[in-house]
Structure 1
Amino acid sequence: MNWNMFGLAFFVILSFVLVGFAIGQQLFWLAVLLFLAGFAIMGFGLSKKRKQQNA
Protein backbone atom coordinates (compact mmCIF):
# COMPACT_ATOMS: atom_id res chain seq x y z
CA MET A 1 0.00 0.00 0.00
CA ASN A 2 1.27 3.45 -0.92
CA TRP A 3 0.89 5.40 2.32
CA ASN A 4 1.82 8.77 0.80
CA MET A 5 -1.02 8.61 -1.72
CA PHE A 6 -3.36 7.29 0.97
CA GLY A 7 -2.51 10.29 3.15
CA LEU A 8 -3.16 12.71 0.28
CA ALA A 9 -6.50 11.06 -0.49
CA PHE A 10 -7.45 11.22 3.19
CA PHE A 11 -6.74 14.96 3.35
CA VAL A 12 -8.71 15.61 0.16
CA ILE A 13 -11.74 13.82 1.57
CA LEU A 14 -11.31 15.54 4.93
CA SER A 15 -11.20 18.97 3.31
CA PHE A 16 -14.43 18.32 1.40
CA VAL A 17 -16.13 17.02 4.55
CA LEU A 18 -15.03 20.17 6.34
CA VAL A 19 -16.53 22.24 3.52
CA GLY A 20 -19.91 20.80 4.47
CA PHE A 21 -19.26 21.57 8.12
CA ALA A 22 -18.23 25.15 7.32
CA ILE A 23 -21.37 25.69 5.25
CA GLY A 24 -23.45 24.32 8.12
CA GLN A 25 -21.84 26.84 10.46
CA GLN A 26 -22.37 29.60 7.85
CA LEU A 27 -18.64 30.23 7.51
CA PHE A 28 -18.68 30.66 3.76
CA TRP A 29 -15.16 32.11 3.57
CA LEU A 30 -13.83 28.97 5.26
CA ALA A 31 -15.88 26.76 2.94
CA VAL A 32 -14.34 28.44 -0.11
CA LEU A 33 -10.86 28.15 1.37
CA LEU A 34 -11.28 24.45 2.15
CA PHE A 35 -12.83 23.81 -1.27
CA LEU A 36 -9.81 25.35 -3.00
CA ALA A 37 -7.44 23.49 -0.68
CA GLY A 38 -9.13 20.20 -1.55
CA PHE A 39 -8.66 20.78 -5.26
CA ALA A 40 -5.06 21.91 -4.73
CA ILE A 41 -4.21 18.76 -2.78
CA MET A 42 -5.98 16.63 -5.38
CA GLY A 43 -4.07 18.30 -8.20
CA PHE A 44 -0.79 17.76 -6.37
CA GLY A 45 -1.60 14.08 -5.90
CA LEU A 46 -2.57 13.60 -9.53
CA SER A 47 0.59 15.28 -10.78
CA LYS A 48 2.67 13.16 -8.40
CA LYS A 49 0.96 10.01 -9.67
CA ARG A 50 1.53 11.01 -13.30
CA LYS A 51 5.23 11.61 -12.65
CA GLN A 52 5.45 8.25 -10.86
CA GLN A 53 3.86 6.41 -13.80
CA ASN A 54 6.11 8.07 -16.40
CA ALA A 55 9.35 7.33 -14.52
Structure 2
Amino acid sequence: MKNFQWDMAILAIVVIFSFTSVGFAIGQQIFWLAALLFFLGFALMGVGLTKKRKRQSS
Protein backbone atom coordinates (compact mmCIF):
# COMPACT_ATOMS: atom_id res chain seq x y z
CA MET A 1 0.00 0.00 0.00
CA LYS A 2 3.05 2.25 0.10
CA ASN A 3 2.92 3.08 -3.62
CA PHE A 4 -0.87 3.12 -4.03
CA GLN A 5 -1.91 5.43 -6.87
CA TRP A 6 -5.13 7.12 -5.80
CA ASP A 7 -5.61 9.03 -9.05
CA MET A 8 -5.48 5.84 -11.12
CA ALA A 9 -7.84 4.05 -8.72
CA ILE A 10 -10.39 6.86 -8.90
CA LEU A 11 -10.09 6.96 -12.68
CA ALA A 12 -10.70 3.20 -12.85
CA ILE A 13 -13.79 3.53 -10.65
CA VAL A 14 -15.16 6.31 -12.88
CA VAL A 15 -14.58 4.16 -15.99
CA ILE A 16 -16.40 1.22 -14.39
CA PHE A 17 -19.25 3.53 -13.34
CA SER A 18 -19.48 4.87 -16.89
CA PHE A 19 -19.82 1.40 -18.41
CA THR A 20 -22.30 0.37 -15.71
CA SER A 21 -24.35 3.46 -16.46
CA VAL A 22 -24.51 2.41 -20.11
CA GLY A 23 -26.51 -0.63 -19.03
CA PHE A 24 -28.82 1.54 -16.95
CA ALA A 25 -29.35 3.98 -19.83
CA ILE A 26 -30.17 1.13 -22.21
CA GLY A 27 -32.63 -0.24 -19.68
CA GLN A 28 -34.34 3.14 -19.54
CA GLN A 29 -34.23 3.33 -23.36
CA ILE A 30 -32.17 6.52 -23.41
CA PHE A 31 -29.92 5.47 -26.25
CA TRP A 32 -28.20 8.81 -26.81
CA LEU A 33 -27.06 8.81 -23.18
CA ALA A 34 -25.89 5.20 -23.51
CA ALA A 35 -23.80 6.11 -26.54
CA LEU A 36 -22.37 9.17 -24.77
CA LEU A 37 -21.42 7.18 -21.68
CA PHE A 38 -19.94 4.41 -23.83
CA PHE A 39 -17.62 6.82 -25.63
CA LEU A 40 -16.85 8.62 -22.38
CA GLY A 41 -15.78 5.31 -20.82
CA PHE A 42 -13.40 4.57 -23.67
CA ALA A 43 -12.01 8.12 -23.61
CA LEU A 44 -11.33 7.90 -19.87
CA MET A 45 -9.76 4.48 -20.34
CA GLY A 46 -7.47 6.00 -22.96
CA VAL A 47 -6.48 8.75 -20.54
CA GLY A 48 -5.64 6.14 -17.91
CA LEU A 49 -3.56 4.08 -20.31
CA THR A 50 -1.69 7.19 -21.45
CA LYS A 51 -0.93 8.18 -17.84
CA LYS A 52 0.26 4.64 -17.10
CA ARG A 53 2.57 4.62 -20.12
CA LYS A 54 4.06 7.99 -19.10
CA ARG A 55 4.70 6.75 -15.54
CA GLN A 56 6.41 3.57 -16.76
CA SER A 57 8.70 5.43 -19.17
CA SER A 58 9.94 7.94 -16.59
TM-score normalised according to structure 2 size: 0.93
Choose 1 or 2 for highest CA Rg: 2
What's the Cα RMSD here? 0.3
Structure with bigger helix share is: 1
Q: Percent identity of the aligned residues? A: 64
Flag structure 1 segments of 5+ consecutive residues without an equivalent. none
* Number of aligned positions between the proteins: 55
| Counterpart mapping for 1:1-55 below 5 A | 1-55=4-58
- In structure 2, C-alpha distance between the alignment counterparts of 1:40 and 1:25, rounded to whole Å: 23
TM-score normalised according to structure 1 size: 0.98
For residues 1-51 of structure 1, what are the alpha-carbon distances to aligned partners after superposition, in whole Å with 9 as ceiling and x for unaligned?
110000000000000000000000000000000000000000000000000
Flag structure 2 segments of 5+ consecutive residues without an equivalent. none
- In structure 2, C-alpha distance between the alignment counterparts of 1:49 and 1:4, rounded to whole Å: 11
